[in-house]
């Protein structure tokens, strides 16, 4: 179900107060300041799988994510803002990202940020759980408020796709939208990995590049039942001991990384409407789980439900539930 809200039907004196409420409900608690006495705003939003996709068309105002607003939040998200029309300046982690049409930037709702719109604008905002981008905590500050051009590199793949999504938002509320969401997330993961490799600090760049090659190798071999530390180390001509050290420095282990990525792919397949006829055991085997009982146990531990229960309760509806609690004005 598409959420559609606009200020046009309200008296001028009530419009911005209504808009302030709308953006808090649709995203996270925020502080909003008007940039004009004659404010107009329109918002449309849908859910694609775990992605919330929102198109905003409004005139001048400023949005602040403050420490107080952060403390009022229960969930952690990354947001991506794609400029469709007009101009925006995103500020976070001591950087400014000036966005013109086709440009986008990522920001983190667990840290303060500001979005400044000096005139009328149109923007697409993607909001997704932070875990989906698989960014190590120490690396988050290197990807936020970094302008990504929609005219080169991976950005030239992401930007046109999202612009098309914004122009035809209502058309994507279909069962296949879950697969589209997964493809968008995969593109964003590629973008972030590319950005981290480019921006890696010189003393550490070799290790970061090696880790990216290793995790990419793991991702492409998840279906191999014998995938493990020895296999991964041999494929990269390093010792198993050094491989374990690399993952320990990331706060995890090789086996946990492999397991978590396998579980994530299984979870995606289980909520995919196009795979409802595929047996749970077949999905588990596809992603490297040879023992169905073991898979069921660790899936329940990770997601709080058995694979079959999760499949029954995960049919996407596209609905957005709004809350009026914990706003900051």
Q: Where are the domains of the chain?
A: 3-198, 204-313
Of the CA atoms within 13 Å of residue 308, those in its CB half-sphere come to: 4
Q: Does position 194 have pLDDT exceeding 90, yes or no?
A: no
Question: What's 80's DSSP letter?
Answer: E
Banded pLDDT at 321 (limits 50, 70, 90):
very low
Give the residue among 42, 62, 63, 69 at the shortest CA–CA distance from 54.
42
More confident residue, 164 or 153: 164
Q: Are 198 and 183 in contact (CB under 8 A)?
A: no
For residue 244, give the H/E element and its range.
helix 240-249
pLDDT of residue 56: 96
Cβ proximity of 81 and 156 under 8 Å? no
Is pLDDT above 60 for 201? Answer: no
Q: What is the distance in angstroms between the CA of the first residue and the CA of the last residue of the chain?
A: 28
- Identify any residues that bridge with 42 across adjacent strands, giving them in sequence order: 6, 57
pLDDT digits (tens, 9 = 90+) for 30-62: 999 999 889 999 999 998 888 999 999 999 999
HEC secondary structure over 15-37: HHHHHHHHHHHHCCCCEEEECCC
Q: How confident is the model at residue 261 (pLDDT cuts 50, 70, 90)?
A: very high
Contact (Cβ atoms closer than 8 angstroms) between residue 60 and residue 119:
yes
- Enter the pTM of the model: 0.71
Given a contact cutoff of 8 angstroms between Cβ atoms, the answer to whether 66 and 24 are in contact is no
Looking at domain 204-313, what is its CATH homologous superfamily?
Answer: Homeodomain-like (1.10.10.60)
* DSSP strand pairing (88-92 vs 95-99): antiparallel
Report the SS3 class of residue 126.
Answer: strand
Q: How many Cβ atoms are within 10 Å of 182's Cβ, its own excluded?
A: 21
Which of left, alpha, beta for 288 (phi over 0: left; psi -120 to 50: alpha)?
left
Residue among 148, 154, 165 nearest 190 (CA): 154
CATH architecture of 3-198: Sandwich (2.60)
Residue 153, Ramachandran bin (φ over 0: left; ψ between -120 and 50: alpha; else beta) = left
Give the tens place of pLDDT for each residue, 115-158: 999 999 999 999 999 988 888 788 888 899 999 998 888 888 89
Handedness of CA 313, 1, 134, 70 (dihedral sign): negative
Q: Which residues in the chain belong to E strands, given as ranges?
A: 3-6, 31-34, 41-48, 51-58, 61-65, 77-85, 88-92, 95-99, 104-108, 113-117, 121-129
pLDDT 10s digits, 65-112:
999 999 988 889 999 999 999 999 999 999 999 999 999 999 999 999
CA atoms of 329 and 313, how far apart (whole Å): 36
């Amino acid at each position: 179900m598409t959420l559609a809200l606009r200020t046009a039907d309200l008296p001028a004196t009530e419009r911005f107060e209504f808009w302030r409420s709308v953006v808090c409900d649709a995203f996270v608690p925020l502080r909003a300041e008007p940039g004009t006495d004659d404010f107009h705003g329109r918002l449309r939003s849908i859910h694609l799988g775990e992605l919330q996709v929102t198109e905003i068309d409004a005139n001048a105002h400023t949005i602040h994510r403050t420490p107080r607003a952060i403390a009022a939040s229960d969930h952690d998200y990354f947001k991506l803002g794609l400029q469709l029309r007009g101009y925006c300046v995103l500020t976070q982690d001591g950087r400014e990202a000036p966005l013109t049409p086709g440009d986008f930037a990522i920001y983190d709702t667990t840290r303060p940020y500001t979005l400044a719109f000096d005139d009328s604008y149109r923007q697409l905002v993607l909001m997704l759980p932070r875990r989906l981008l698989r960014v190590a905590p120490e690396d988050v500050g290197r990807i936020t408020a970094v302008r990504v051009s929609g005219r080169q590199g991976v950005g030239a793949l992401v930007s046109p796709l999202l612009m098309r999504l914004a122009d035809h938002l209502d058309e994507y509320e279909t069962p296949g939208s879950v697969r589209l969401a997964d493809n968008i997330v995969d593109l964003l993961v590629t973008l972030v990995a590319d950005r981290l490799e480019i921006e890696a600090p010189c003393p550490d760049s070799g290790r970061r590049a090696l880790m990216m090659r290793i995790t990419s190798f793991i991702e492409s071999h998840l279906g191999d039942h014998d995938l493990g530390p020895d296999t991964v180390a041999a494929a990269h001509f390093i010792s198993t001991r050094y491989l374990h050290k690399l993952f320990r420095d990331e706060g995890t282990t090789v086996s946990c990384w492999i397991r978590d990525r396998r579980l994530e792919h299984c979870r995606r397949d289980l909520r995919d409407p196009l795979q409802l006829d595929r047996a749970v055991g077949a999905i588990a085997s596809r992603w490297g789980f040879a023992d169905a009982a073991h898979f069921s146990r660790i899936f329940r531990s990770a997601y709080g439900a058995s694979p079959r229960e999760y499949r029954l309760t995960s049919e996407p509806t596209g609905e957005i539930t709004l809350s009026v609690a914990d706003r900051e004005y």
